[in-house]
Chain A
């Protein structure tokens, strides 16, 4: 069975600062993919960034980057230069060969002006 755990229910950060959201996972599969999704109040799930497990290089998308520690099964998201529009619920997710996504419980991020 696959599990994804986010241990931070809520976080806050000041505008323009950097924040890191934590995620750990567990799977017995060797081939998998990891994702961070953002869900603003509009409810739509928006893909922020993804990481292929067989790639050692950490993925980066503009202000968003990940710290992927495969041995520790850790996949944290770093948001640099935080903006008010980054306020949302953030979900860590994993996809294995079954194609379904397994989600963590989510972290509510608030960016304060």
Chain B
């Protein structure tokens, strides 16, 4: 497919476990973003990758959250020692380089922490 692909679509895990969420951006898009959407809320910025530049991690809520982007393409968001407040939909977006390039979103991963 040509769109942003995220996996898994849904993830249920126990409190304290680690989880990995995957994002496969649109081919050729150098910018990649992670956002978090808590129930009934707007989207909260987490992290932004642009080409080979150092990522903007200023939105990560705690040191339990980390993300990497290998080979300038696929990205993985990792949450360690999950807490119930981590339950949310995690959305990934990608875009071409440059200001005002529209961001294209995936369908998100719904994470539920028991």
Q: Say yes or no for B33: interface residue by CB 8 A criterion.
A: yes
Q: Say yes or no for A99: interface residue by CB 8 A criterion.
A: yes
Residue in B50, B59, B91 whose CB lies within 8 Å of A45: B91
CA distance A42 to B3 in the complex (A): 14
Taking residues whose C-beta sits less than 8 angstroms from the other chain, chain A's interface range is 20 to 34
Does more than half of chain B's interface fall in helix, strand or loop, or is it mixed? Answer: strand
User: Judging by beta carbons under 8 Å apart, are A33 and B91 in contact?
Assistant: no
Residue in A42, A102, A105 whose CB lies within 8 Å of B107: A42
Q: Say yes or no for B48: interface residue by CB 8 A criterion.
A: yes
User: Judging by beta carbons under 8 Å apart, are B42 and A105 in contact?
Assistant: yes
Closest B residue to A6 by beta carbon equals B42
State the interface size on chain B (CB cutoff 8 A): 25
Residue in B31, B42, B44, B108 whose CB lies within 8 Å of A43: B108
Which A residues between 1 and 25 are near B, CB-CB below 8 angstroms? 4
When each residue 8-41 of chain B gets 1 if its CB lies under 8 Å from chain A and 0 otherwise, what string results? 0000000000000000000000010101000001
Q: Say yes or no for A62: interface residue by CB 8 A criterion.
A: no
B contact residues around A103 at 8 Å (CB): 35, 42-44
Residues of B that sit less than 8 Å from A by CB: 31, 33, 35, 41-45, 48, 50, 56, 59, 89, 91, 93, 99-100, 102-108, 110
> Can you pick out 11 interface pairs between chain A and chain B where the beta carbons lie within 8 Å of each other?
A35-B102, A44-B108, A45-B105, A50-B102, A91-B42, A98-B48, A99-B31, A99-B48, A99-B56, A100-B59, A104-B42
